[in-house]
Amino acid sequence: MSLLEVTDASVRFGGLTAVDGLGFSVEAGEIVGLIGPNGAGKTTTFNMLVGLARAAEGTIRLDGRPLAGLRPHSIAALGMTKTFQNVSLFMESSVLDNVVTGALLREPLAEAKASARRVLERVGLAGVAERPAADLSFPERARVEIARGLATRPKILLLDEVMAALTPAEMEGIVALVRQLRDEGITFVLIEHHMRAVMTLSDRILVLSFGRKIAEGRPEEVARDPKVIEAYLGREWAAEGAGPGQARP
Ligand SMILES: Nc1ncnc2c1ncn2[C@@H]1O[C@H](COP(=O)(O)OP(=O)(O)OP(=O)(O)O)[C@@H](O)[C@H]1O
């Protein structure tokens, strides 16, 4: 049995089908990349998985358990949570308090604080625990976002563009952190527009276009798939070759 199994899932917003008959599975210990053009349905897929968007059709199972009708906190308690697109920390709050919000899912405040400190140690941020999140560098903020997810003690953590604001050199540290966390037993699905990062990190890649899965396979297979090059990669490779990634928010 796969850790996560999605079968024929669709999400609609009025007349728009943002996720269209999607099926895929994720094995425990994998790092799976989710790529595709803007508007392809990647974030909606994550929202559907964690209970923030309702699947009109299809089934989602975590460890064999159907998630239909469950709210985000219940799904997080079962072991799946996501980070928010482009990092969305409480900037005025301390790094520690940002991470405590994740730990409070499972524990009362005093224990949650102790757990959050352990998580900050794990991601290399123990030294900045008391600082406001706004004081941190972009790579440190990406670590806090990951730490907040980790604090919920996920089996599977969905990362939504946590590297969006990073330079290629800064991404290397996050890539190494994700690998380390996977080696410690956490499964990842990541949405990322930085192709070098997603290609290096992922064991397997799913490609979405207009809400449908158009390809799936090992990074090198996906990278030479003509459908993927046409729908997405041609543009992304060209953009990366032309200069630095996205502007910082
Ligand atoms: N809450 C919503 N209400 C209506 N339409 C929505 C909503 N959320 C997303 N959509 C639409 O659903 C489609 C898929 O959007 P989604 O954000 O999932 O794409 P994405 O692949 O994550 O894009 P990006 O790479 O730009 O983040 C888009 O057409 C988007 O405009």
How far apart, in Å, are the Cα atoms of 25 and each of 63, 105, 180, 246? 11, 26, 22, 30
Cα–Cα distance for residue pair 101/207, rounded to 1 Å: 32
Does the Cβ of 13 fall within 6 Å of ligand 1?
yes
Question: Residue 247: in which H helix or E strand, if any?
Answer: none
Choose the residue to mutate in 10, 11, 13, 194 for probing ligand 1, maximizing ligand atoms within 8 Å of C-beta.
Answer: 13
**What average pLDDT score do residues 83-87 get?**
69
pTM (two decimals): 0.91
| Domain 1-79+157-227, architecture per CATH | 3-Layer(aba) Sandwich (3.40)
Residue with tokens 């004081």: 135
Does the Cβ of 92 fall within 6 Å of ligand 1?
no
How far apart, in Å, are the Cα atoms of 93 and each of 53, 101, 118, 137, 245? 28, 11, 18, 15, 28
* pLDDT tens, residue by residue, 191-244: 998 998 999 999 999 999 999 999 999 999 999 898 888 888 766 666 665 433
Does the Cβ of 43 fall within 6 Å of ligand 1?
yes
Q: Quote the ipTM score.
A: 0.96
Cα–Cα distance for residue pair 195/33, rounded to 1 Å: 10
* pLDDT tens, residue by residue, 189-202: 999 989 989 999 99
How far apart, in Å, are the Cα atoms of 228 and each of 46, 157, 219, 240? 21, 25, 11, 16
Cα–Cα distance for residue pair 41/35, rounded to 1 Å: 10
Give the orientation angle of helix 138-150 with respect to helix 95-103, to 10 degrees. 20
Mean pLDDT of the chain: 91
* pLDDT tens, residue by residue, 32-41: 999 999 999 9
110 Cβ neighbours under 8 A, 6+ residues apart: none
Choose the residue to mutate in 20, 44, 52, 189 for probing ligand 1, maximizing ligand atoms within 8 Å of C-beta.
Answer: 44
